[in-house]
Amino acid sequence: MFDGLAITHELWKFLHSHFVHAGLPLRAPAPSQVILFVTSQCNLRCPICRVSRRATSRNVLQVADYEAVLRDLAKLGVRYVSLTGGEPLMRTDLFDILKRVKDLGLTCHLNTNGALLHEREIGLIAALGVDGVTVGLDGPTAAVHDRVRGRQGVFAEALRAVTGLVAIRNKHGMPKQVGIGTTVLRWNLDQVPDIVDLGKRLGVDKVRVQPIDLASVPDCRLRDDVWMREEDYPLVDRVFSDLLRIRRQTGLITSSEGYLRISKEYFKGRLYRDIPCYAGYSTLVLDEEGNVFPCFAVGSVGNVRRDSVADIWFSDRFRAVRRDIAAGRCAKCWVSCHAEVSLLHHPRYALSTGLAMMRRKIFRRRNPDRV
């Protein structure tokens, strides 16, 4: 019964946000997902990521601030919160924040590079009831992964984290989902199917594929080295065809079929421009200083230290930004957290994306020991 009510609720929010995007004079529904960017600090300096190059803020939200924000989000109707960074585990109070999330009954997901996940941290994740953890894994070998992550030994640390999370999931049922997230770039393109196979052998529940976002690469000179060249296009076709096949056969890849198909064209510079963006309609981002964004490609629309999340979400300023996004005045990125939501609202891809989500829900219900 609860599943049916939850699905009906999400379907209504989906239709509601679609009507708002179309210009109907309605208030936006609560965001389907909220991303908490809890720190810009990171223990790694990945050459393809600019986050760790940001100046460390001394004005970060504290646990009490997050507790107030999370209560506002729960009252607004938010059900899903994802914590990311930087590296979230750089915060010594991370588990206090996670506890506040779970105390409010919210579904909680944690993104990490895994290097700081040891037995103690893995035990706390399970004890707190964190629903899902995704560990970044960008290669099936140390040579590839460590190159992407900028430090030797990180591959072994990521494998240790995944192995520990899978073991405690098998023993205690938490976290419900253990996954790996892979950033696809020229350095690892030919080995992405091998990463998926490694994830299967490790016993993960899901693999998420994310094409590199060139805007995140801090060194402009490096962009030509990590981006696909014309001679790589046949390999791009083969790899993404393999990923689509693996997805259909195993269900392990949670990236939607539409997302994978368009990612293939994205690497050839032919990103579909007819897919409207739903950032700010179904998604909300909060950084470590309390600034609120539709996504990081669009400027801040408020700060939770001055106003409540609800006041910001329903503000005239946020409405104006939504209109700009609906009109196509945005960066047109292909970051999965926003692109997948946008595909869910597109008539050409909504069915396959929605069915993929439904299949995952049914799998979790029928296989409670593996969710």
Q: Which two tokens stand for residue 7?
A: 């699905």
> What does pTM read for this prediction?
0.86
pLDDT at 73: 96
Confidence check: pLDDT of 368 > 60:
no
pLDDT at 52: 65
pLDDT at 278: 80
pLDDT digit string, tens, across residues 115-166: 999 999 999 999 999 999 999 999 999 999 999 999 999 999 999 999 999 9
pLDDT at 44: 93
pLDDT at 193: 97
pLDDT at 37: 95
* Maximum mean pLDDT: which of 48-52, 109-113, 336-340: 109-113
pLDDT at 269: 82
Contact of 364 with 371, CB cutoff 8 Å: yes
Confidence band of 288 (pLDDT split at 50, 70, 90):
very high
pLDDT at 25: 47
Name the residue among 284, 345, 340 with its Cα closest to residue 315.
284
Q: What angle do CA 242, 245, 249 make, to 5 degrees?
A: 135
Name the residue among 191, 193, 316, 167 with its Cα closest to residue 245.
193
pLDDT at 340: 78
Report the mean per-residue pLDDT for the chain.
Answer: 85
Say what percent of the chain tops pLDDT 90. Answer: 61
Residues in the chain: 371
Amino acid at 234: P
Confidence band of 233 (pLDDT split at 50, 70, 90):
very high
Beta-bridge partners for 177 = 132
Query: Going by DSSP bridges, is the β-strand pair 206-211/177-184 parallel, antiparallel, or unpaired?
Result: parallel
pLDDT digit string, tens, across residues 18-38: 555 545 445 666 788 899 999
Confidence check: pLDDT of 2 > 60:
no
* Maximum mean pLDDT: which of 120-134, 249-263, 293-307, 356-370: 120-134
